[in-house]
């Protein structure tokens, strides 16, 4: 086989690689983003319940695709670890209605931060999955192929936000998909629908007329753990980064 | 009269083998039961282990790291003896090769059974690959390593296998299957393959280090973590070689003297030297992480080890039992010059290395969990402990079987 | 010597060709299949626009809870739009259900909150109609 034929053989493989590396689903002119207003979140937990109903996660399982972290902070600068009390809501039982939480928040600055998968543009989970079960769609959503996942849990280790977990019944990993099956039908994600105060807003940030574009233009937005370089797509208004990691 | 005495001896040896074998099989069954329970009980219902569900990598992954780094260690010792001219190590090379093979096979089995979807484990090799994933490369490299190791063992044992062809029974059958009766100079080829094997082993082991090191997890993120892994491979390899050789000779009822004693003494030197380097690696790793100038995440990562949940694991098991005490035992002439002393030091070292793996995997993840559900202390679930016991028993049983079948130079 | 190294290089090359050549085709097709699967999932929540079609009077009468979607309190509505019976939708009138949002734990500036001591034990809906 001479050199030209050999190079043709190599070149034959390249389109196959390009086919996979170039994302092959979704509309490339869209860029989905969720804006969360921490000032509006009241820690009711309806988003957690709605997400579990919509996406077949067991209600009493202690992990969820989306969860709420409640912070009760003594207003002291510089702060120490004992001045910050955290509580997490990720099941149908709401710990923010317990006597112990009410006691804790007395006299402290309190706020609730809803968290979910950030669908990072440089997602650590996509980089480390050995079977390429996680992939980007052209509109920015990171999807998880449960038929391919072998459950090695490297993505759980790699995600800085703790957004991934092992599904107890399906025995693969699971994470928020921005309710891809809903947003492609023009509906809103389940958590956005269920939020009573409108703290979660979802939309296409490339569309100038959307609510998220307006919010991003008019507010200072923050992201979680920017130093990890993941370029997340969940933007927070009113996040207290002195306290929240 | 003499015949009667010999028969009694043979009978008692067979009885010991039978008891030993069935004890091992029982332990392996316990391990299998543990694995089965792990896979069928998604939410571990035993208090207080429910929170262990949130931690992704627990005891089995630490065990896998232990096995796989041990096999690299064996490979390094073999290559020191075979390729790099430490001729004093030659008498023990055969045992080390068999132990290397057994540990890598059991290690791969460990990680395959830790997957949530065991039946889909072959996806990582067959088609669904992600070339940016270090875990994928790790699997590929270890498969390559197994191939090269088997080829090396085959060629190293070839001449002796030919001599074994005439024997009756299973040993002869194995020898007849594995050879064609044309003896050739295979030991040189084995040397070249040995070099390739150790090359692959070191790449694969440092790849495993990088698998931990590329994550921004504060305890793990370190460009030198692959080097640390290769260093701990040398420590584990030397220690396990001593343990393996000593137990093999003990089981055969042979006292260690002559060439094999010299080999043990050479291993003592290697082990002592690598423990000294390891002490400094460990000390500076934690000083750098805990120093006030380093990032908050690093300090929080190092704190559980200094006076937190992992303090017992670290100070007692890893440092005192694993590094300092063996060094003292190896350095003291009265103890170090006896094979039993080196064996005792190696046992302590291996315990320390095992806890090093647990601390590394679980200590790094202790900060990772969702706030409010973090489980910072090391959790050993009973099913996992059962599985661990089963895997260790399997290693010993496999080594025993392979040892019996292969032509070891000295007779039974 | 050459034979040994040649054998090793051959094995490595086979590995690389396999990884970079054959696998992307399998991976790409499985991802496309999964996206199809995702898009075919049926939603369990509909939308306020759909609830409006039958319950328009109730909808336009709302003042305080007008920004809250119907399914936030009434649960998933797709089954109810098909069967249209009373037992396919959630109607929780208990005090604890209202206090889930309106109890004055800390940090709730976005809603009007009320204390536990405000008429304890009585259902809130006795005096407050949520649809007004």
Helix (H, G, I), strand (E, B) or coil at A237: strand
- C90 within a domain of the structure (yes/no): yes
Q: Do both C88 and C121 map to the same domain?
A: yes
Query: What per-residue confidence (pLDDT) applies to B50?
Result: 55
Q: Do both C53 and C15 map to the same domain?
A: no
C57 Cβ under 8 Å from any chain A Cβ: no
The stretch A158-165 carries a mean pLDDT of: 88
Query: What per-residue confidence (pLDDT) applies to B412?
Result: 36
Residues of C in contact with B195 (CB under 8 A): 4
The stretch B153-169 carries a mean pLDDT of: 82
**Confidence grade of residue B266 (pLDDT, cut at 50, 70, 90):** very high
Asked if the Cβ–Cβ distance from B188 to C12 is below 8 Å, we say no
Of A19, A53, A106, the CB nearest to C76: A53
* Chains in contact with C, counting 3 or more C-beta pairs less than 8 Å apart as contact: A, B
Three-class DSSP labels, chain B: CHHHHHHHHHHHHHHHHHHHHHHHHHHHHHHHHHHHHHHHCCCCCCCCHHHHHHCCCCHHHHHHHHHHHHHHHHHHHHHHHHCCCCHHHHHHHHHHHHHHHHHHHHHHHHHHHHCCCHHHHHHHCCCCCCCCCHHHHHHHHHHHHHHHHHHHHHHHHHHHHHHHCCCCHHHHHHHHHHCCCCCCCHHHHHHHHHHHHHHHHHHHHHHHHHHHHCCCCCCCCCCCHHHHHHHHHHHHHHHHHHHHHHHHHHHHCCCCCCHHHHHHHHHHHHHHHHHHHHHHHHHHHHHHHHCCCCCHHHHHHHHHHHHCCCHHHHHHHHHHHHHHHHHHHHHCHHHHCCHHHHHHHHHHHHHHHHHHHHHHHHHHHCCCCCCCCCCCCCCCCHHHHHHHHHHHHHHHHHHHHHHHHCCCCCCC
Q: Which domain range does residue C7 map to?
A: 1-41
B143 Cβ under 8 Å from any chain A Cβ: no
Least confident of A16-25, A59-68, B120-129, B205-214: A16-25
Q: Do both C79 and C14 map to the same domain?
A: no
**Which of 21-40 (B) contact A at CB < 8 A?**
39
**Which of 216-245 (A) contact C at CB < 8 A?**
none
Of C8, C26, C27, the CB nearest to B196: C8
Of C39, C72, C106, the CB nearest to A194: C72
C-alpha distance from A139 to closest chain C C-alpha (Å) = 13
- C132 within a domain of the structure (yes/no): no
Residues of A in contact with B376 (CB under 8 A): none
The pLDDT tens digits for B173-198 are: 777 777 776 666 677 788 888 999 99
C62 Cβ under 8 Å from any chain A Cβ: no
The stretches in chain C having pLDDT less than 50 are none
Instruction: Please give the full DSSP string across C38-83, using - where no structure is assigned.
Output: HHTPPPS---HHHHHHH-HHHHHT-STTTTS-HHHHH---HHHHHH
Least confident of B24-28, B64-68, B294-298: B294-298
Q: Do both C104 and C58 map to the same domain?
A: yes
Asked if the Cβ–Cβ distance from A157 to B368 is below 8 Å, we say yes
The pLDDT tens digits for B211-237 are: 999 988 888 988 899 999 999 999 999
User: Smallest Cα–Cα separation from C9: which of B156, B201, B148, A3?
Assistant: B148
**Residue of C108, C116, C117 to mutate, testing the A interface (most A Cβ within 10 Å of its Cβ):** C108
Query: What per-residue confidence (pLDDT) applies to B4?
Result: 55
Sort residue A41 into left (φ over 0), alpha (ψ -120 to 50) or beta: beta
- Cα angle at A237 between C131 and A65, to 5 degrees? 70
Q: Do both C32 and C87 map to the same domain?
A: no
Of A153, A162, A171, the CB nearest to B370: A162
**Residue of C2, C22, C23, C27 to mutate, testing the B interface (most B Cβ within 10 Å of its Cβ):** C23
Pick the CATH number of A25-237 from 3.40.470.10, 3.20.20.70, 3.40.190.10, 3.30.70.20: 3.30.70.20
Query: What per-residue confidence (pLDDT) applies to B2?
Result: 55
Long-range contact list for A17-22, CB < 8 A, 24+ apart? A17/C20, A17/C24, A19/C24, A19/C25, A19/C28, A20/A132, A20/C24, A20/C25, A20/C27, A20/C28, A20/C31, A21/C24
Asked if the Cβ–Cβ distance from C41 to A181 is below 8 Å, we say yes
Q: Do both C32 and C15 map to the same domain?
A: yes
The stretch A211-233 carries a mean pLDDT of: 92
Q: Which residue of B has its CA nearest to A168?
A: B42
Q: What are the structural domain ranges in chain B?
A: 2-405
C-alpha distance from C106 to closest chain A C-alpha (Å) = 5
Q: Do both C33 and C56 map to the same domain?
A: no
Of C8, C19, C23, the CB nearest to B148: C8
A154 class by beta-carbon count within 10 Å (0-12 exposed, 13-18 middle, 19+ buried): buried
Tokens encoding C103:
């109890």
- Residue B7: is its pLDDT beyond 70? no
- C131 within a domain of the structure (yes/no): no
E strand or H helix at A87: strand A84-89
How many structural domains compose chain C?
Answer: 2
Residues of C in contact with B148 (CB under 8 A): 8, 11
Asked if the Cβ–Cβ distance from A130 to B121 is below 8 Å, we say no
The pLDDT tens digits for B337-391 are: 888 999 999 999 999 999 999 999 988 887 754 444 455 677 788 888 999 999 9
**Which of 187-206 (A) contact B at CB < 8 A?**
none
Query: What per-residue confidence (pLDDT) applies to B379?
Result: 76
- C74 within a domain of the structure (yes/no): yes
**Confidence grade of residue B1 (pLDDT, cut at 50, 70, 90):** low
Query: What per-residue confidence (pLDDT) applies to B327?
Result: 94
Query: What per-residue confidence (pLDDT) applies to A204?
Result: 93
The pLDDT tens digits for B104-141 are: 999 999 999 988 888 888 888 877 888 889 999 999 89
Q: Do both C25 and C74 map to the same domain?
A: no
- Residue A20: is its pLDDT beyond 50? no
C88 Cβ under 8 Å from any chain A Cβ: no
The stretch B136-158 carries a mean pLDDT of: 90
Asked if the Cβ–Cβ distance from C43 to A24 is below 8 Å, we say no
**Confidence grade of residue B8 (pLDDT, cut at 50, 70, 90):** low
Classify domain B2-405 at the CATH topology level: Formate dehydrogenase/DMSO reductase fold (1.20.1630)
Asked if the Cβ–Cβ distance from C15 to B144 is below 8 Å, we say yes
Q: Which residue of B has its CA nearest to A133?
A: B128
* Chains in contact with A, counting 3 or more C-beta pairs less than 8 Å apart as contact: B, C
């Amino acid at each position: 086989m001479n050199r030209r034929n050999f190079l043709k053989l190599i070149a034959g493989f390249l389109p196959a690689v390009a086919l996979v590396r170039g994302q092959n689903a979704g509309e490339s002119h869209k860029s989905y983003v969720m804006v969360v207003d921490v000032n509006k979140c009241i820690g009711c937990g309806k988003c957690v319940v709605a997400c579990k109903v919509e996406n077949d996660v067991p209600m009493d399982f202690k992990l969820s695709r989306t969860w709420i972290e409640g912070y009760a902070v003594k207003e002291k600068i510089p702060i120490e670890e004992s001045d910050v009390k955290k509580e997490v809501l990720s099941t149908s039982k709401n710990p923010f209605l317990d006597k112990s939480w009410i006691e804790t928040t007395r006299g402290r600055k309190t706020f609730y931060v809803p968290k979910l998968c950030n669908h990072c543009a440089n997602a650590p989970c996509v980089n480390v999955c050995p079977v390429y079960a996680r992939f980007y769609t052209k509109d920015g959503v990171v999807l998880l192929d449960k038929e391919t996942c072998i459950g090695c849990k490297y993505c759980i280790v790699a995600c800085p936000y703790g957004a991934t977990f092992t599904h107890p019944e399906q025995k693969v990993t699971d994470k928020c998909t921005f309710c891809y099956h809903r947003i492609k039908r023009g509906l809103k994600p389940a958590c956005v629908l269920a939020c009573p105060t409108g703290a979660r807003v979802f939309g296409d940030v490339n569309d100038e007329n959307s609510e998220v574009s307006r919010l991003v233009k008019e507010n200072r937005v923050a992201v979680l753990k920017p130093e990890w370089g993941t370029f997340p797509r969940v933007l927070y208004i009113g996040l207290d980064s002195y306290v929240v990691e | 009269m003499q015949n009667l005495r010999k028969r009694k001896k043979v009978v008692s040896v067979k009885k010991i083998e039978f008891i030993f074998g069935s004890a091992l099989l029982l332990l392996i069954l316990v391990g299998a039961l543990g694995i089965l329970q792990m896979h069928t009980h998604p939410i571990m219902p035993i208090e207080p282990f429910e929170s262990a569900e949130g931690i992704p990598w627990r005891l089995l992954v630490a065990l896998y790291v232990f096995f796989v780094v041990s096999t690299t260690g064996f490979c390094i010792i073999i290559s020191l003896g075979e390729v790099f001219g430490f001729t004093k190590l030659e008498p023990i090379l055969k045992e080390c090769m068999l132990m290397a093979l057994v540990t890598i096979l059991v290690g791969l089995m460990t990680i395959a059974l830790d997957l949530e979807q065991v039946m889909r484990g072959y996806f990582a090799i067959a088609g669904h690959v992600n070339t940016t994933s270090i875990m994928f490369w790790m699997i590929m490299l270890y498969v390559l390593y197994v191939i090269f190791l088997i080829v090396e063992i085959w060629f190293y044992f070839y001449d002796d296998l030919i001599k074994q062809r005439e024997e009756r029974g299973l040993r002869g059958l194995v020898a007849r299957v594995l050879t064609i009766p044309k003896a050739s100079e295979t030991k040189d080829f084995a040397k070249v393959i040995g070099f390739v094997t150790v090359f692959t082993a070191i790449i694969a082991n440092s790849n495993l280090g990088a698998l931990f090191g590329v994550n921004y997890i504060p305890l793990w993120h370190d460009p030198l973590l692959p080097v640390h892994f290769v260093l701990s491979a040398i420590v584990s390899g030397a220690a396990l070689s001593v343990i393996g050789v000593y137990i093999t000779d003990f089981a055969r009822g042979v006292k260690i003297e002559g060439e094999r004693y010299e080999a043990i003494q050479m291993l003592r030197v290697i082990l002592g030297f690598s423990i000294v380097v390891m002490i400094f690696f460990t000390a500076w790793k934690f000083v750098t992480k805990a120093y006030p100038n380093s990032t908050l995440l690093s300090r929080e990562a190092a704190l559980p080890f200094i006076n937190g949940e992992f303090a017992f694991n670290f100070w007692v098991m890893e440092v005192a039992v694993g590094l300092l005490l063996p060094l003292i035992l190896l350095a003291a002439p009265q103890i170090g010059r006896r094979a039993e002393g080196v064996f005792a030091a190696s046992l302590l070292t291996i315990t320390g290395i095992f806890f090093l793996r647990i601390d590394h995997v679980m200590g790094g993840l202790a900060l990772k969990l969702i706030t409010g559900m973090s489980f910072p202390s090391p959790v050993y679930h009973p099913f996992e402990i059962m599985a661990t016991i089963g895997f260790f028993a399997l290693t010993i049983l496999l080594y025993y079987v392979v040892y019996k079948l292969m032509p070891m130079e000295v007779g039974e | 010597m050459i034979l040994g190294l040649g054998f090793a290089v051959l094995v490595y090359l086979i590995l690389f060709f396999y990884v970079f050549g054959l696998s992307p085709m399998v991976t790409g097709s499985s991802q496309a299949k999964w996206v199809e699967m995702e898009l075919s999932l049926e939603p369990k929540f509909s939308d306020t626009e759909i609830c409006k079609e039958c319950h328009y009077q109730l909808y336009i009468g709302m003042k305080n809870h007008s920004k809250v979607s119907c399914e936030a309190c009434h649960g998933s509505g797709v089954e109810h739009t098909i069967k249209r019976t009373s037992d396919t939708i959630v109607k929780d009138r208990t005090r604890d259900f209202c206090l889930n949002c309106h109890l004055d734990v800390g940090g709730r500036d976005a809603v009007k909150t009320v204390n536990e001591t405000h008429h304890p034990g009585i259902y809130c809906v006795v005096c407050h109609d949520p649809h007004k």
